[in-house]
Chains A and B, each alone.
Chain A
Amino acid sequence: MTAAALNVLGAATSPPIEYETLLPFLVLAGGAVLTLIVSMFPGRFVQRALTPIVATSGLLASLVLFAIQLNEPPELLLSGSLRIDDLAVVFSLLIITAALVATVLAWRGSTVREAGSGEFYALLLSAVLGMTLLVASQNLVTLFLALELFSIPLYVLCGADLRRNRSLESGVKYLIIGSLGSVTLLYGLAFVFGATGSTGYAEIGKAIATGNLADDALLLVGVGLTLVGVAFKASIAPFHQWTPDVYEGAPTPITAFMSVATKAATFGLLLRLTGEAFLPLYHDWAPLLAVLAAVTILVGNLGALGQESLKRMLAYSGVAQAGYLLIGVVVGTALGARATVFYLLVYLLMNVGPFAVIISRERAGLGDGLTGMRNLGREAPVMAWSMTISMITLAGLPITAGFVGKLFLIESAIDGRYAWLAVVLVLGSALSLAYYLRVVAAMWMRPVAKRTGRPGRVAAVAGAATEGGAGRFPELVAIAVLAALASIVIGVWPQPLLDLATDAAEAFFSLSN
């Protein structure tokens, strides 16, 4: 009897651990630890080269390990608390790519030196680990653990420019408001657990569907608070107010990482929650989220209009983009999920380029203001072209990835009977043109007042070859150019990313149906 009881006990306390499938997560965790250990050794070589190399290898290894699992049948891990399906894999690939870009952007920057390169990279890797776990989690407990695992390192990273007040302010602000979001979420999760009696997404979904809980006040409050908590993290209006300050103050490589990866992680979570756990309540939350999407698009685009700081402008534009992304969630269909995933993939392409350009201007001592962009077209035509293409694709003009992304969102909105949201989306896009083009105008068009004589008759000026100081940082030029090129290529030939998005959406919706 005792042997059998022990057996049962043993099985209860230590669930089987699928090390092989968990490997990409373990590599990230191991990478973070190894980065810290390596960075303890003194010396310029270790700090400047070896530590980033260890961190980058960790990210790359994890990227490859995730990529191998693409198109494999979904697998439940750790007693069903994680699910490795194409949704998790695609989002993880996206997040890790964003982190890789951030490491390149941060390399040779002042932040890494000030914060200590070991700490910087280790925190980045932990944040990535948290995000990848979040998009794979299947259970409220894992959800919260993963969320905090990525939030806390980000609080620290935002304040990593130790000698800059704005950076510290950014870190503290993010800590306070982020914690508020976490608390709201946690509160919501508790209510949901209280109402349904389970923590697994699938079980919650079943409990709601079978238990006739659609009118249960406890549950509805829980769902509402949970969604609000996620909205905080995803900078969905009216819970977005922290975004501009934090984005502006944080070290720019971290802003670049956050703008893409946080969005991906939280939208991954949102898709899982709305498409699985809360799906039976679709008619309760969908109209609510639809209104939030419209408000977010409006607030983001209006907020971006007058910004002089490009990082603030991109923060507001990020808010607006969150509104677009929300449309795919609102419709609650496979088409919607596909559109959201596709747009997130595209968002990575269109968002990292501008940050690379901003960093190059910051390192040239010009700051992140619109004035720093002046005459970039002459000084650094390659950077200026990349930035131009990125702005055009963010605005969603044709033959760019942004156009195709918006096309899918519009299609899913109309298909899901939310045509009015599609109209809001395009009006927002038209509005967004005003501030994206301001950047383009600053780069290419000289102020009218300075012109003399007949227009267009001034002697031709040969483009300067120095790339405005960006030539000293070829890695920044490379990222800006690659991002711009990819935006155009995907705009003409969207199939590869589309296949990824389709896989992600299908893996997920086959479960809920």
Chain B
Amino acid sequence: MNSALTLLILLPLIGATIAALAPVKQVGQIAAVMTLVQIGFLVPILIDFQVGVELQAYVDEIWIEELGIHYALGIDGLNIFMVALTVFAWAIATFWAATKEWEQPRMFYAMLALAEAGTIGAFVAQDLILFILFFDLLLIPFYFLIGMWGEGDRRRATGTFMIYTLAGSLLMLVGAVAYGVISSYQNQTEISFLLSDLAAAPVGGSTQGWIFAGFALALLIKMPIPPLHGWMPITYRSTPLPVLVVLSAVVAKLGAYGFLRVVLPLMPDAANNFQHVLLVLAIIAIIYGSVMAFSQDEARMVVGYSSVAQIGFVLLGIFVLDAKGAEGALLQMLNHGIVVVGLMLVIGFLAARSNSERLSEMGGLARSAPIFAVMFLIVALATLAMPGSANFVGELYIIFGALSDQFVYGAIATIGVPLAAVYMIRMFQKSMHNREHAEGRSRELNATEFGLLLPAVLAVLALAVYPQFVVERIEPNAEFTVEAYQPSTAVAGGGGAAVSKEADE
């Protein structure tokens, strides 16, 4: 049994346990150092990664035999960078959190670690029920993180967040169980929720519809895509910034990932049937997110709504059902995760200087902080997909994919590109330039702040210089995932999806 991924899931929890043994004042530091251990553990996995569609570091053990639920984990091009992003974002969030004081720090870091374990688990799970289990498990730590250490109307925020996301993911659970049961009926196989088993024995096209609806609802809520984003504003306002780093950078990506990992391979007919619904939703997300981001005064809400727009691009890339689009979506998920880490740090630093997170109460902060300004600018330009950044490559892939298969959607989505420039430059200008606000005081980054922001900026630059590193690793899987949707290759037989289409016709 290959225990590498199991260990990767458990490492945060082990780290939190060790940190909990330390004196109260040192818990944060120890927890932060423990995230370096995870990075050290992840690097060999990244290096050993082979380009190809095969699952690696694969584990498959029966967990609940009666229900055909497996404890199956594996990595491939779809999730390797998501796992890396998770570990990266959590490391920065933990280090950042360690610079602040928290009530009941042991519980805080334990919850943070539990959230990380759940996220990694959801990304590497190769069994449908296991995926949902981890997907839902995340809710518990975030409930506490927001409810106990949050700001403002946090109890209402946690309630809204929990009920929204759980209502969605429980319907997904029903859909998943239905998929397994019906699949075993229709194909006369033993019940199994292993993703590869299900893909080999998909349910018929007519039953896919409502199962697809359950999945789409859960995943769209998580992303979030309007009009299912109701939990986002209130949750963003109440979440402490270091927690918001991971919530926004990583957890939102789980929704998009679910489409690529589960929905497209298992429900090809439904994905085809509902393609236009999802594409319209993606366009709405892009336009609505951009417009809202432009009109926000709170800096974190600018980032929140800009994430809606960005994740709209990702959804667009996924549902043009084209290899280029899927590739772009995967690349963009990583890019956006990294810039959000940077942006959240920037917001924290801005707020520390102007005593407010409101753009209207900031200004002129660049005056005696050139390094800060440059680093912010790098992150901001990457966010608005400046040519030369990896985000540019990602958006280009998505829009090319869209233009070649779904021209109208691609053309409309293109509007989103300049809009991103508008809201990001507005945020930069209002905070860094303009007249200095009475309350604020421009100050260069101190060593801690610099140390926190530097990895994010370096990651942005590294991706900009060499996006090929990522692209070549995700390419085979991106192609494989949408293979069944290509008219030319469907006959050649690309996995279960093609088989089911033939069976239905």
> Interface residues, chain A, CB within 8 Å of chain B?
338, 392, 397-399, 403-404, 407-408, 410-411, 414-415, 419, 422-423, 425-427, 429-431, 433-434, 437, 440-441, 444-445, 448, 455-463, 494-495, 498, 502
B83-111 vs A: 1/0 string, CB under 8 Å?
Answer: 00000000000000000111111000000
Q: Which of B27-65 contact A (CB under 8 A)?
A: 64
Residues from chain B with a CB closer than 8 A to the CB of A392 are 140
Chain A nearest Cβ from B493, distance in angstroms: 30
Known: A404-B64, A445-B147. 4 other contacts (CB 8 A): A441-B158, A456-B102, A462-B24, A494-B64
Residues from chain B with a CB closer than 8 A to the CB of A410 are 173-174, 177
B395-411 vs A: 1/0 string, CB under 8 Å?
Answer: 00000000000000000
Chain A nearest Cβ from B190, distance in angstroms: 14
Inter-chain CB contacts under 8 Å: number: 115
Residues from chain A with a CB closer than 8 A to the CB of B134 are 398
B366-410 vs A: 1/0 string, CB under 8 Å?
Answer: 000000000000000000000000000000000000000000000
Expressed in whole angstroms, the Cα–Cα distance for A440 and B141 within the complex equals 13
> Interface residues, chain B, CB within 8 Å of chain A?
24-25, 64, 66-67, 100-105, 129, 132-134, 136-137, 139-140, 143-144, 147-155, 158-159, 162-163, 166-167, 170-171, 173-174, 177-178, 180-182, 240
| Choice from A423, A430, A457 contacting B100 with Cβ under 8 Å | A457
Residues from chain B with a CB closer than 8 A to the CB of A427 are 167, 170-171
Residues from chain A with a CB closer than 8 A to the CB of B158 are 437, 441
Chain A nearest Cβ from B62, distance in angstroms: 10
| Cβ contact within 8 Å between B147 and A414 | no
Residues from chain A with a CB closer than 8 A to the CB of B155 are 441, 445, 448
Chain A CB within 10 Å, residue with most, of B102, B103, B134: B103
Known A407-B129, A461-B103: A455·B162 in contact at CB below 8 Å: no
Query: 18 A-B contacts, Cβ less than 8 Å apart?
Result: A398-B132, A399-B137, A403-B133, A411-B177, A414-B174, A414-B177, A414-B181, A425-B174, A426-B170, A427-B170, A429-B170, A430-B166, A430-B167, A444-B147, A455-B151, A456-B102, A456-B149, A460-B103
Known A404-B64, A414-B181, A456-B240: A461·B171 in contact at CB below 8 Å: no
Chain A nearest Cβ from B342, distance in angstroms: 22
Chain B nearest Cβ from A456, distance in angstroms: 5
Residues from chain A with a CB closer than 8 A to the CB of B178 are 414, 419, 422
In the complex, residue of chain A having the shortest beta-carbon distance to the beta carbon of B133: A398
Expressed in whole angstroms, the Cα–Cα distance for A502 and B66 within the complex equals 9
| Choice from B100, B147, B148, B181 contacting A411 with Cβ under 8 Å | B181
| Choice from B132, B137, B150, B180 contacting A455 with Cβ under 8 Å | B150
In the complex, residue of chain A having the shortest beta-carbon distance to the beta carbon of B182: A414
| Cβ contact within 8 Å between A460 and B101 | yes
In the complex, residue of chain B having the shortest beta-carbon distance to the beta carbon of A426: B170
Known A429-B170, A437-B162: A455·B136 in contact at CB below 8 Å: no
Please provide the 9 A-B residue pairs with the shortest distance between their CB atoms, ordered closest to farther.
Answer: A426-B170, A430-B167, A455-B151, A398-B133, A398-B137, A414-B181, A398-B136, A422-B174, A456-B149
| Cβ contact within 8 Å between A455 and B149 | yes
In the complex, residue of chain B having the shortest beta-carbon distance to the beta carbon of A389: B140
Chain A nearest Cβ from B108, distance in angstroms: 8
Chain A nearest Cβ from B270, distance in angstroms: 16
| Cβ contact within 8 Å between B136 and A397 | yes
Residues from chain A with a CB closer than 8 A to the CB of B159 are 434, 437
| Choice from B129, B147, B163 contacting A430 with Cβ under 8 Å | B163
| Cβ contact within 8 Å between B24 and A407 | no
Residues from chain A with a CB closer than 8 A to the CB of B104 are 460-461, 463
Chain A nearest Cβ from B455, distance in angstroms: 23
Residues from chain B with a CB closer than 8 A to the CB of A457 are 100-101
In the complex, residue of chain A having the shortest beta-carbon distance to the beta carbon of B25: A460
Expressed in whole angstroms, the Cα–Cα distance for A423 and B176 within the complex equals 12
| Cβ contact within 8 Å between A448 and B152 | yes
Expressed in whole angstroms, the Cα–Cα distance for A130 and B181 within the complex equals 39
Residues from chain B with a CB closer than 8 A to the CB of A415 are 181
| Cβ contact within 8 Å between B133 and A441 | no
| Cβ contact within 8 Å between A419 and B174 | yes
Known A398-B137, A445-B148: A411·B67 in contact at CB below 8 Å: yes
In the complex, residue of chain A having the shortest beta-carbon distance to the beta carbon of B211: A419
Known A399-B137, A460-B104: A433·B240 in contact at CB below 8 Å: no
Chain B nearest Cβ from A195, distance in angstroms: 37
Chain B nearest Cβ from A437, distance in angstroms: 6
Expressed in whole angstroms, the Cα–Cα distance for A458 and B148 within the complex equals 12
| Cβ contact within 8 Å between B177 and A407 | yes
Expressed in whole angstroms, the Cα–Cα distance for A441 and B160 within the complex equals 13
Chain A nearest Cβ from B348, distance in angstroms: 12
| Choice from B140, B177, B180 contacting A422 with Cβ under 8 Å | B177
In the complex, residue of chain B having the shortest beta-carbon distance to the beta carbon of A455: B151
